[in-house]
Amino acid sequence: MAREFLRIGVTLLFVLPAMGQGKRLWVLRAGGEMVEYDPATFAQKQTVKVPPEAVQLPQNVSVNQLGQILFAPTVSLPLGESDAEAAHKVWFWNGRTATTIEQGVTRASVKEGSNFVVTETAPVPYLSADGKYLLWFANRSRRLQREEVDLSTITTWQFWRTDLTGSIREELTSSKFPDCHCTTGSCEETCPYGVVWVPQDGVGKCFLLTQFVAGQTQPVYMASSRYQEEEGKWIANPVSPPLRRVLDAASDGNVIVEAIPDTGCCGWVNQSNDQTLLRMYGKTSTAFDEQATLKNPDYDVSFYTSNARLSPEIGYVAMTIVATAQANKPIQLAQEGQANPEESQHIRKALADLPAVEIRSPEDSPRRVAYLPHATLVGWLSEKEVLLVESHLLVGYNVATGARRKSSVHVEDAAHVFLR
């Protein structure tokens, strides 16, 4: 009997960690419910009630692998007076109960001589991957104004953590940006704020920071850093060239999927080449190239990747390709475009497939592994199986065999699905 108990105990030692490392799947439903499903069988497991407004703002919902859920309002600098006066509450589900936490948005204006000094802070909370803390990032600025015209600003980017109630603040790191003169009269047009990218399942050992200027007609990306935790300290290392729109990254930040957005402005959407780059250990390759693939320079329609995910072992990168136009709608010429019937026909044929998921291998010249029309990417269930939304249903697709696992789980869109 003792030997039998020993055998069972050894078996559990191997089974329990494997279960703990398994994927978790949540769907945000109308009415404010987060429903968890078994990724292997698509059977419903549990339901958590969330704020109803979360359904309209799925991008503001975070979930980690432990099943903690966070819903936080979007707040950024500069703040208007109405932003500062509004109540900013963070909703947090710790896995058992729900609480609300003050977000800590502040704005104060003090007269100094003929000027006003406006001091404002906009913290944004994130889950931790291990579920022990809440992590907070904030831009804190001190703007000098005269007659509601910005003159200069001093901005400090801050990073701290608290316990799961939002208390016991512990400073982790910060970065003071250079003093900046607001030459256009609006600081966000000429001066940087810190923008962070964190993994979907919460902050672990790495995150990315970019100094971002909104600009007048198009954004400017000034500098980027990779922050990594080493023996309890967060160390910043520069990433060059600066990151634009980060779509995904490996847990150590050494593999990054980055989108290069179109520079179109002033009513035009196709004035440059949309690309998706794969930065791997110092080398950069192109995973998606709009003009090389679609050959669309003469028409004002832009093709780009709306999301991308690396497979767990970095053997594949999957991307959703979308466009700014629809196949059955008129498409105007680009600003400097010339009518080209062959190009127009090619564009409409491509539009008829969208949205589409493309899967490539991360080589020096990434090779296409699969192309799946009328699908949107959710994420990777395993190294070989990707989760898609097709016709509003969740579908598992095996990259190796091409087999599909179709479910009966109906979803609004991929933004309302959380795979961790």
Read off the DSSP letter of residue 52.
G
Residue 360 lies in a domain: no
Q: Give the C-alpha separation, 204 to 266, whole Å.
A: 40
Same domain, 199 and 319: no
Domain termination residue (choose one: 354, 388, 411): 354
Cα 116 from Cα 363, distance rounded (Å) = 54
Instruction: Point out the domain boundary residue: 243, 258, 286.
Output: 243
Q: Give the separation between CA 199 and CA 161, rounded to whole angstroms.
A: 16
Q: Are residues 150 and 129 in the same domain?
A: yes
DSSP for residue 160: E
Cβ-based burial of 281 (10 A; exposed 0-12, middle 13-18, buried ≥19): exposed
**Residue 226 and residue 110 share a domain:** yes
- Given this model, what pLDDT does residue 83 score? 83
Beta bridge partner(s), residue 158: 138, 174
Q: How far apart are CA 420 and CA 407, in angstroms?
A: 18
The pLDDT assigned to 80 comes to 81
- Residues sharing a CB contact under 8 Å with residue 357, sequence separation 6 or more, in sequence order: 318, 319, 320, 321, 370, 371, 372, 375, 376, 377, 386, 388
**Residue 11 falls inside a structural domain:** no
Is residue 141 assigned to a domain? yes
> Are 113 and 196 in the same domain?
yes
Asked if 280 and 255 count as a contact pair (C-beta separation under 8 A), the reply is: yes
pLDDT by position in tens, the chain (length 420): 444 433 434 333 333 333 335 899 999 999 899 999 999 999 999 999 999 999 999 999 999 999 999 999 989 999 987 888 888 999 999 999 999 999 999 999 999 999 999 999 999 999 999 999 999 999 999 999 999 999 999 999 999 999 999 999 999 999 999 999 999 999 999 999 999 999 999 999 999 999 999 999 999 999 999 999 999 999 999 999 999 999 999 999 999 999 999 999 999 999 999 999 999 999 999 999 999 999 999 999 999 999 999 999 999 999 999 999 999 999 999 999 999 999 999 999 999 999 999 999 998 889 999 999 999 999 999 999 999 999 999 999 999 999 999 999 999 999 999 999
Residue among 197, 216, 221 at smallest CA distance from 207: 197
Full-model pTM: 0.92
369 neighbors 315 (Cβ within 8 angstroms): no
Tell me, yes or no, whether 13 lies in a domain.
Answer: no
* Residues 111 and 225 placed together within one structural domain of the fold: yes
Q: What is the number of structural domains in the chain?
A: 3
Q: Are residues 236 and 109 in the same domain?
A: yes
127 lies in a domain?
A: yes
- 208 and 311 fall within a common domain: no
In whole angstroms, what is the distance from residue 88 CA to residue 32 CA?
19
Looking at the structure, tell me whether residues 127 and 256 fall in a common domain: no
Residue the block writes with tokens 């296409």: 368
- Phi then psi dihedrals of residue 198, to 5 deg: -125, 155
- Is 363 contained in some domain? no
Burial of 155 (0-12, 13-18, 19+ CB in 10 A): buried
Q: For residue 269, which amino acid is it?
A: V
Confidence (pLDDT) at 14: 36
Two structure tokens written together for 218: 């198009």
Beta-carbon contacts of residue 256 (< 8 Å; ≥ 6 apart):
208, 239, 243, 246, 248, 249, 250, 278, 279
**Residue 164 has what pLDDT?**
98
Q: Is residue 3 part of a domain?
A: no
Do 135 and 166 sit in the same domain of this protein?
A: yes
* Radius of gyration, alpha carbons of the chain: 23
Are residue 288 and residue 406 in the same domain, yes or no?
no
Same domain for 168 and 306, yes or no, is: no
Please give the structure tokens belonging to residue 415. 């933004």
Residues 217 and 274 in one domain: no
Quick check: is 4 in a domain? Answer: no
Checking 217-222 for CB contacts under 8 A at 24+ apart, the result is 217/265, 217/266, 218/263, 218/265, 220/192, 222/192
Domain that holds residue 261: 248-354
